Amino acid sequence: MFIDIPSELEAALIDLPLPTWELDGSFLTKSTMERYRTELTATPRFEETTATLRHALIREGGGYAVLRLGNLAKALGTGDRFRRLVTGFGAEVAAPFSPFPQWPLWKDIGVKVAKDPGKSSGIGYNAFHMDLVNASLPPDYTTLLCVRPDPLGGGLSILSDAHAAVARLSEDCRALLAESAYHYGTFSDLFGVGEEYKPFPILDGSDPGEGFVRFTAKMLARSDLSQAHAESARKLAEELVRGQVSFMLKPGDYLIVAQRRFLHGREALHGDQENIPADDRRLLLQLFLRAGSTAGSARVAGRCHR
């Protein structure tokens, strides 16, 4: 699931200044994607590398990949030039977009010591979840670019195959998870993710191994659920932990997660974060991807979980 960039491709990309991207609403424009693809496919082994990336995301048992772009980040820094290259890789998977009006494409996920520890920008354990869980059109892919890991060594990324976890549950438990009895989060006017979905089923009725597993472990403590539905969700949470993989993202690593297969989270950051200067703390950048023809239909403004 870790994909190294061939040295000849790295050398070519360092000398390739892609143009500034343009947006159509919240989506990267088709013309920008075409321009990026034209220039990138002219570099040696780019198509081979992106084919490997797509295979890792769609193959049986797959669903996530990490592009190791550390040498590019070291050579170019992590500013606009580097982010355009990473956006070009993302566009080879699906259409890049941002549901957040205040973030033109990439969203900063830094560390705020006063934040709720379980939030993405908090310092505690961020339990397994699907991004925008209560939107009718969640992003097909969530992606995270590591600018800086936790300098104290915490904050491992965790991933778990949601469908494999569901398959280990009893039939009665799966039946409860398929009922529209779950809800979580607050809503704001955002873009590209459809409408509010409340209540929602965790299992959407698709064939086994298909569709979203609409789950966030935070619902166990922050949503008013019946005892039976809460217990079924708790059993799913336990199976997700039992099947998890974990790894440390390094500077320049680009993690892509297929949300129809895998849920993600983060181990707690190391203690004493308040003693680290804010500009030296862990920093990730997040970009979402929309697959297939749904990209165009998702451009209307919607209401989604933040």
Per-residue pLDDT reduced to its tens digit, 39-59: 999 999 999 999 999 999 999
Name which of 57, 49, 137, 148 is nearest 97 in CA terms.
137
In the chain, where the domains are located: 2-293
**Residue 244 CA neighbour count, 13 Å, CB half:** 21
Q: What pLDDT sits at residue 188? A: 77
- Per-residue pLDDT tens digits for 223-282: 899 999 999 999 999 999 999 999 999 999 999 999 999 999 999 999 899 999 999 999
Structure tokens at 135: 């939107």
Mean pLDDT of 100-122: 93
Q: What pLDDT sits at residue 181? A: 96
pTM exceeding 0.75 = yes
Mean pLDDT of 90-112: 95
Q: What pLDDT sits at residue 301? A: 37
Mean pLDDT of 115-135: 95
Confidence of residue 209 (pLDDT cuts 50, 70, 90): confident
Mean pLDDT of 68-74: 98
According to DSSP H, which parts of the chain are helical? Answer: 7-14, 30-41, 46-58, 70-76, 80-91, 162-167, 171-177, 219-222, 227-242, 294-297
- Mean residue pLDDT of the chain comes to 93
Residues 6+ apart with CB under 8 A from 133: 184, 185, 200, 214, 215, 216, 305
Say how far apart CA 267 and CA 155 lie, in whole Å: 5
Q: What pLDDT sits at residue 144? A: 98
Mean pLDDT of 283-289: 98
CB atoms within 10 A of CB 300: 13
> What's the CATH architecture for 2-293?
4-Layer Sandwich (3.60)
- Per-residue pLDDT tens digits for 129-178: 999 999 999 999 999 999 999 999 999 999 999 999 999 999 999 999 99
Cα-Cα-Cα-Cα torsion 268, 272, 274, 275, nearest 10 degrees, comes to: -140
Q: Phi/psi of residue 92, each to 5°?
A: -75, -15
Confidence of residue 206 (pLDDT cuts 50, 70, 90): confident
Confidence of residue 292 (pLDDT cuts 50, 70, 90): confident
| Whole-number percent of the chain with pLDDT over 90 | 86
Helix 46-58 and helix 7-14, axial crossing angle in degrees, nearest 10: 110
Q: How are the residues of the chain apportioned to helix, strand and coil, as percentages rounded to the nearest 5?
A: 30, 25, 45
C-beta separation of 14 from 75 below 8 A: yes
| Whole-number percent of the chain with pLDDT over 70 | 95
Say how far apart CA 256 and CA 144 lie, in whole Å: 7
Cα-Cα-Cα-Cα torsion 157, 73, 3, 23, nearest 10 degrees, comes to: 80
C-beta separation of 68 from 5 below 8 A: yes
> Is the backbone peptide bond immediately before 199 cis, with ω within 30 degrees of 0?
yes
More confident site: 61 or 63:
63
